[in-house]
Structure 1
Amino acid sequence: MNNIKQIYTTDLKNIITNWAAAILIGGLIVLPSLYAWFNIAAMWDPYSETGNLPVAIVNEDAGAKIRDQKINVGKELVNTLKTNKSMDWHFTNREKAMDEVNYGNYFAVIIIPKDFSAKLASVISVKPEKAQMEYYVNEKINSVSPKITQKGASLIVEQVSSKFISTVNGVIFDLFNKLGIELSRDLPDIERFEHYIFILEENLPEINRILNESLADATSAENILNKAEGKIPEIRELTSKGLDTINKTNDLITAAENRLNAIAPKIKEDVEKIQKISNDINSFLNKAQNANIDLSKGDQLQKNVQNQFSNALQTVDTIESSLNQLKKINSEQGENASSEQLDQAIAKTGELKSALQTAQSNIAGIDQFLSQKKQEFKNTVETIQSMASEAPEKLDVFVTEYNNAIEPTILNEVGKAKRTLTNAKTMLTEVQSTLPEVERILKNTQGNLKEGKKALDYAHGQFPYVNAKVRELADKIRKLKNEADINEIINLLRHDPNAERNFFEEPVKLNEHKLFPIENYGTGMTPFYTVLSIWVGALLLISLLAVDVHQHDLYTGKQIYFGRFLTFVTIGFLQTLIVTLGDLFILHVSVSAPVWFVVFGLFIGLVFMLIVYSLVSVFGNVGKALAIIMLVLQIAGSGGTYPVVLLPKFFQIISPFLPFTYAVDLMREAVGGIVWERVLHDILFLSIFGLIALLFGTFLKEPLSQKTEALLKKSKESGLFH
């Protein structure tokens, strides 16, 4: 123990008495602190200086309208950024901005395109489109600035989105408010609509049946119309033929009427002749009956009477022929009533003709009578007279009947036939004139019917879909009525639009609660750089100071190890006190537990010095290399700058085996706020690292000293190592 103390006191005396050594040791004590202080100061609050980062803004926005409300988000953004000092905003055009960012005068360029507001306004359209900003960044200028400018761009997007959302939602809730008022006013109609939906749902089977029947009826009607259209040419032909027939029939009736009018006087004249002949015969017979007749002249008498009767019969034949001809004309025209009258007239004429023929045949027997019986002549004459006297009576009846019945009836029926034909002709003419219109209507009807059938086919085809949707709508209405009250919905829609606008402008407000508040970025980095400076201080010491004494033959390896370690740890404590106290009083780092900050620093300095000193004491220059390797690994893998979970897998694996991991965490507890459970955890692991180093140096220095001395000697022979 005395030897250890002697080595330590000798080192202290040499430092104090040797001004060169004192200066060098003083430098070694202060130099690690400068490493920590400069880095902490440089990182004290880097984001407070982002206002010096030049970023270009190019506004090409042409503006737009939302429900007749003009908006120009790009212009509003530019006006906002002109008062924003978070970055050095430059408002310029696209060409200049791109030239400057390529050259490096601008760190980034944000371009607001021409359709920016228009795409934002499409939010109320059927197909809304997302608005986009163009962001160009020159990443080769600096590794951190792109992250800062990107954050600035993101903040701009968030501000625009927030402002736009509040504006649009204000418009939407204005509409909702109006909609709520309209819904309140139209509530009876809505309830009536619900009722109609339920009725429609109930009548869907009947609607389906009617659709099926209508479709069948439409098919039948289409067939009928096709047949009717096909009959149009036939009807046109029949109409034309009917008109021709009527014209011909009318001509025949007119001819018959003219002929009857021409025959009538002749018939009257012939009847009058017959009457005269009959009267002459009757007069003659009266004379013959009262006179003394010379029977010897019977032949002459017979001949005269015979001539008279022949003339009468000839006249009757003429009348009968005329009546038969007239009957034939009427039969062709279908005038039944006229034909009956003519039949009666012909029958009467036949009776008259028969009587005349009978009388004539009796006259033929006069000659025979004269030759046989004279007395009987007289009787025969009387008989002839009697029969002849009947002819005028029959003629009078015929003339009366002809004048009063036959001729007027025939003329009347002929007139009726002409009127009927005239009416028929008028009707057929009208039919013929309307046929083109009928044909057009049929074609239009066919077209309309086809369209109607298509509509029916479509309706019939869509009925399953309509049926499903109506039932679905009815179910939804029932479900909605069970789950929500429309009056509540109306009240919701009628909320204050301004309040809703303010809500959507910042729908989520972050209430931040800092459990272990860190004042700034420099404070947050103080634990890492302080721990780093302690390790660097240990490296500087073992690089400049010898770990062995000159009279090493006087001391054992353990005595040298512990004696010289006391010197190293004393200087290390001084280094730690300088850096920790400088953090507190020179940089004014905000530390939650300043005393523990210094104490934890001294403990870390002790552990680090044990590790570094043991490596060099045992392995010499190789130990120095190992200490530097450990430094490199610990800077990357300790989680001092980035969380360990963000590091590559290799560093995540080695992190628990690095002293830095626990040293940095221990100093963070003092800076941010102590959780003693974590402090004890870190102290435990650091103590383990220190104990391992102590045991390593105590028990391996002597066994390995000969090998390390040989290695050191060999390396000096190269002239490159001291």
Structure 2
Amino acid sequence: MFSLPWLELSRFKRHAITRLAMIVVAVIPAIYGGLYLASNWSPTDHLDKLQAAVVNEDTGAKKPDSDGESLHAGDELVDEITPKGEGGFDWEETSQKEADEGLAEGKYFAVLEIPSDFSEQLVSTGGDDPEQAGLQLRTDDAHNFIVGQLAGTVLTEIKSSLNETTTAEYVSEVYVGFNDIHSQTEKAADGASQLNDGSIELHDGTGELVDGTTELDKGVGTLQKGIGDLDDGAGELVKGSGDLKTGADTLAKSTTEAKNGSKDLADGAGQVADGTSQLRDVADETTGKAEDLKRKADDLVDGARPKLERAEGDFDDARTTVRGDMDDRIKQLQEDYPDDPNVQRLAEDMNGLGDDLDSAHERASDAKDEAKKLEDPVTKAVDDVMAKIKAADKKIGQLDDGAQQVSTGADDLHSGLVKLDAGAGKLATGAGDLNDGAKQLKDGTSQAKTGVGDLKDGSSQLVDGSKELDTGAGKLVDGSGELSDGLEEGLKQIPTYDKNDRDHRSDVVAVPVDADKVKDNAVDAYGEGLAAFFVSLALWIGGMITYMVINAIPYRALASSAKSTRIAWAGYVPGLLFGIAQVAVLYLVLTFALDFSAGAWLWTLLFSILVAASFHSVHQLCVAALGGVGRLIALVLLMIQIASAGGTYPVQTAPGIFQIISPFLPMTHAVNGLRTLIAGGDMFIAAQSAVVLLLMTLICLAATVVVCSRKRMVTLTQLHPSLSL
């Protein structure tokens, strides 16, 4: 059974090139699958290697009702995305010109433009005319179409983040507004309560007003009676004021005469006061000079004796010095220079000086004694004179004070009489005015008697009005009470939120639905998701390469007596062995080079071997039946299967023709089974795919047996083929 397959394989041992071909056949699928998966393993994890520009022209805006607080949303967005890797790309802040040039040259894959009114439009959501803030993300499909699609996703994420932040801030302000409404409603409730208290006081006051107006009405009645009495009294006042006017006129004449006499008295008293004032000044001056003389005398008495005593002492010291030391020195000079006439004259002069000093000392001693005897008499005489001068000065002062008082009294008397005369005149005038007023009062009381009647009617109406006001005040009490109770009840229904609560609620309202994407049987990397497709492609290409190197069937065996089944088997077994080698090398490369992992390793390997076996049976059939044209058909099948296998996008997204043919192609079931096993999905799906692949393998092997049977007869077409590849 294995002799023919072994014979086919043994021919590859003959040369190094054939042995190398065996290695190439086993390695090419691994190279193909490894390269494609490595280039697509995790492309979205490396978007931060793509440079993108951000142009920030935002000028900022002041937030409404924020005491001058401003928003610079453009700067905040730039700060958020410019750190490397943030926001999907490697963002770099540039000018508009640099961004345009970089996008055109392919330096930047995307340009995010922030308009100048970006912040202004954001803060407008809290104003009367809200506007949507706009961002623009520019890409150039001439450089890369896929990056444009990814940039759209990045822009969506940035927009969602900004919308969430802006909505949260707006909702936070709404919750702050609830706090303000609660605060204002609380003030309104307090005001309503105060209004209710005031209305109660008003109601009490209107009750008192009713009582007061009632009393007023009674008082007006009493006033009406009193006005009558006043009218009678006014008549008597007219008569009495006439008598008062006559007496006041007489008094005014008498005070005028007294005023004139007091003027003469005041002039004479003023002259006497002037004389005594001058006398007092002279006495004060004399007293001052006497005191100055006394001080000088005291100084003379106190200073003369000490000075004379010092003079006596000084003369005594001088005499002692001359008579003592100087005499001894003179005597020494006489002994030293007995013949010197100058020394003799000096000795004589010193004797004369000593005699003079003795005389001066004696005179100073006598003067000191005389001064001591004169001290007491001089002091006593000066003190006696001073006492007499001071006594005289005091009496002159008393005289002047009396004269001044008399002068002042005379002036006061004159002033008083002047005022009395003026008052008497005013009294006379006032008495006349009083008489005239009394007459007017008499006329007024007559009119008041008429007016008080009208007042009595008005007070009665006031009583009725105060009663109506009291009734209205009672209704105000009831209404203000209901208002206060209603506001208190409404206040309980208005919520308040602290900062933490506002932040939490704002986040919830900004994103009310938090959708989490949960993947069942998730794979670790994007490349692992594509592995089923690329492994299938690699194994299909491996089958094509295998039957480019080895024969689909041993053609020489066709001329032998071997059965067609054995011949077909002999061509398939070497391809199957190469397929198993290809599977082994491919998964070794994926595991150690790309850190590939599978949910069910053993079943993945076995299923991959089944895929290789199925693909090799198809390639064997194509090559055995059609030769070189069969290889071309295998290539066409590859292109059709790439479009209909659903390796990247679900086959349901492909045109209808591909959806129709997809179930009949082996790569469709290979991709489905491998995808399930790699992700660790439902094993039933993998089993279904395995059954389909097994059936396709058996069908292809059976067809190859038929082809081998027909190949035993050589036709003219085989001898001269129309097309040879």
Shorter-chain TM range is: 0.5 to 0.7
Question: 1:115-194 maps to which residues of 2 (within 5 A)?
Answer: 115-186=117-188
Deviations 1:121-159 (A, max 9, x none): 221233322111122111111232212222222222222
Q: Which amino acid aligns with 2:128?
A: V
Q: Which amino acid aligns with 1:561?
A: A
**SS of residue matched to 2:594:** coil
Deviates more, 1:637-646 or 1:686-695: 686-695
Q: 1:595 to 1:100 in 2, by over 3 A?
A: same
Counterpart residue number, 2:570: 563
Counterpart residue number, 1:545: 550
Q: CA deviation at 1:15?
A: 2.2
Report the Cα distance in structure 2 between the residues aligned to 1:54 and 1:562, rounded to whole angstroms. 57
Q: Which amino acid aligns with 1:546?
A: N
Counterpart residue number, 2:698: 691
Identify the match of residue 45 of structure 2 among 26, 43, 48: 48
Report the Cα distance in structure 1 between the residues aligned to 2:611 and 2:714, rounded to whole angstroms. 31
Is there any run of 5+ residues in structure 1 with no aligned partner, and where?
192-480
Alignment TM-score, normalising by the size of structure 1: 0.55
2:175–2:496 Cα contact (<8 Å) kept? no
Report the Cα distance in structure 1 between the residues aligned to 2:192 and 2:638, rounded to whole angstroms. 78
Counterpart residue number, 2:81: 81
Counterpart residue number, 2:113: 111
Report the Cα distance in structure 2 between the residues aligned to 1:708 and 1:115, rounded to whole angstroms. 84
Question: Do structure 1's residue 491 and structure 2's residue 498 form an aligned pair?
Answer: no
1:58–1:92 Cα contact (<8 Å) kept? yes
Deviations 1:347-403 (A, max 9, x none): xxxxxxxxxxxxxxxxxxxxxxxxxxxxxxxxxxxxxxxxxxxxxxxxxxxxxxxxx
Counterpart residue number, 1:90: 92
Counterpart residue number, 1:669: 676
1:618–1:705 Cα contact (<8 Å) kept? no
Q: Which amino acid aligns with 2:73?
A: V
1:539–1:624 Cα contact (<8 Å) kept? yes
Report the Cα distance in structure 2 between the residues aligned to 1:713 and 1:577, rounded to whole angstroms. 41
Report the Cα distance in structure 1 between the residues aligned to 2:49 and 2:716, rounded to whole angstroms. 57
**SS of residue matched to 2:141:** coil
Counterpart residue number, 1:576: 583
Counterpart residue number, 1:446: none
Q: Which amino acid aligns with 2:614?
A: V
1:59–1:74 Cα contact (<8 Å) kept? yes
Question: Do structure 1's residue 530 and structure 2's residue 559 form an aligned pair?
Answer: no
Question: Do structure 1's residue 31 and structure 2's residue 37 form an aligned pair?
Answer: no
Report the Cα distance in structure 2 between the residues aligned to 1:66 and 1:529, rounded to whole angstroms. 56
Deviations 1:256-289 (A, max 9, x none): xxxxxxxxxxxxxxxxxxxxxxxxxxxxxxxxxx
Question: 1:633-712 maps to which residues of 2 (within 5 A)?
Answer: 633-703=640-710, 710=717
**SS of residue matched to 1:509:** coil
2:610–2:694 Cα contact (<8 Å) kept? no
Identify the match of residue 508 of structure 2 among 503, 510, 515: 503
Counterpart residue number, 2:422: none
Q: 1:71 to 1:593 in 2, by over 3 A?
A: same
Q: Which amino acid aligns with 2:642?
A: I
Q: Which amino acid aligns with 1:699?
A: V
Q: 1:190 to 1:158 in 2, by over 3 A?
A: farther
Report the Cα distance in structure 2 between the residues aligned to 1:662 and 1:535, rounded to whole angstroms. 13
Report the Cα distance in structure 2 between the residues aligned to 1:712 and 1:523, rounded to whole angstroms. 49
Report the Cα distance in structure 2 between the residues aligned to 1:549 and 1:190, rounded to whole angstroms. 110
Report the Cα distance in structure 2 between the residues aligned to 1:713 and 1:706, rounded to whole angstroms. 14
Counterpart residue number, 1:100: 102
Question: Do structure 1's residue 520 and structure 2's residue 522 form an aligned pair?
Answer: no
Report the Cα distance in structure 2 between the residues aligned to 1:711 and 1:189, rounded to whole angstroms. 112
Q: CA deviation at 1:504?
A: 4.1
1:110–1:133 Cα contact (<8 Å) kept? yes
Q: 1:613 to 1:489 in 2, by over 3 A?
A: farther
Report the Cα distance in structure 1 between the residues aligned to 2:133 and 2:61, rounded to whole angstroms. 12
Report the Cα distance in structure 2 between the residues aligned to 1:515 and 1:47, rounded to whole angstroms. 21
Q: 1:27 to 1:712 in 2, by over 3 A?
A: farther
1:618–1:708 Cα contact (<8 Å) kept? no
1:108–1:135 Cα contact (<8 Å) kept? yes
Q: Which amino acid aligns with 2:698?
A: L
Q: CA deviation at 1:12?
A: 2.5
Q: Which amino acid aligns with 1:53?
A: L
RMSD of Structure 2 on Structure 1 (CA): 2.7
Q: Which amino acid aligns with 1:64?
A: A
Report the Cα distance in structure 2 between the residues aligned to 1:103 and 1:144, rounded to whole angstroms. 17
Q: Which amino acid aligns with 1:145?
A: V
Q: 1:190 to 1:56 in 2, by over 3 A?
A: farther
Q: CA deviation at 1:708?
A: 8.3
Q: CA deviation at 1:545?
A: 2.1
Report the Cα distance in structure 1 between the residues aligned to 2:636 and 2:13, rounded to whole angstroms. 33
Counterpart residue number, 1:13: 10
Q: CA deviation at 1:48?
A: 1.8
Deviations 1:144-194 (A, max 9, x none): 221222222222222222222222222222112222333455469999xxx
**SS of residue matched to 1:693:** helix
Q: Which amino acid aligns with 1:553?
A: A
**SS of residue matched to 1:141:** coil
Q: CA deviation at 1:549?
A: 2.2
Report the Cα distance in structure 2 between the residues aligned to 1:644 and 1:178, rounded to whole angstroms. 58
Deviates more, 1:685-694 or 1:493-502: 493-502
Q: CA deviation at 1:500?
A: 2.1
Report the Cα distance in structure 1 between the residues aligned to 2:113 and 2:568, rounded to whole angstroms. 67
2:662–2:668 Cα contact (<8 Å) kept? yes
Q: CA deviation at 1:658?
A: 1.9
Report the Cα distance in structure 1 between the residues aligned to 2:17 and 2:712, rounded to whole angstroms. 30
Alignment TM-score, normalising by the size of structure 2: 0.55
Question: 1:203-602 maps to which residues of 2 (within 5 A)?
Answer: 489-491=493-495, 496-504=501-509, 506-551=511-556, 552-554=558-560, 555-602=562-609
Q: Which amino acid aligns with 2:20?
A: I
1:581–1:598 Cα contact (<8 Å) kept? no
Q: CA deviation at 1:24?
A: 0.5
2:564–2:708 Cα contact (<8 Å) kept? yes
Q: 1:648 to 1:712 in 2, by over 3 A?
A: farther
Counterpart residue number, 1:233: none
Q: 1:702 to 1:489 in 2, by over 3 A?
A: farther
Q: 1:513 to 1:522 in 2, by over 3 A?
A: same
Deviations 1:228-255 (A, max 9, x none): xxxxxxxxxxxxxxxxxxxxxxxxxxxx
Question: Do structure 1's residue 629 and structure 2's residue 636 form an aligned pair?
Answer: yes
Q: 1:702 to 1:118 in 2, by over 3 A?
A: same
Report the Cα distance in structure 2 between the residues aligned to 1:705 and 1:135, rounded to whole angstroms. 69
Counterpart residue number, 2:355: none
Counterpart residue number, 2:611: 604
Report the Cα distance in structure 1 between the residues aligned to 2:719 and 2:570, rounded to whole angstroms. 21
Report the Cα distance in structure 2 between the residues aligned to 1:72 and 1:36, rounded to whole angstroms. 50
Identify the match of residue 619 of structure 1 among 611, 614, 626: 626
1:55–1:149 Cα contact (<8 Å) kept? no
**SS of residue matched to 1:13:** helix
Q: 1:517 to 1:709 in 2, by over 3 A?
A: farther
Q: 1:596 to 1:71 in 2, by over 3 A?
A: same
Deviates more, 1:693-702 or 1:93-102: 693-702
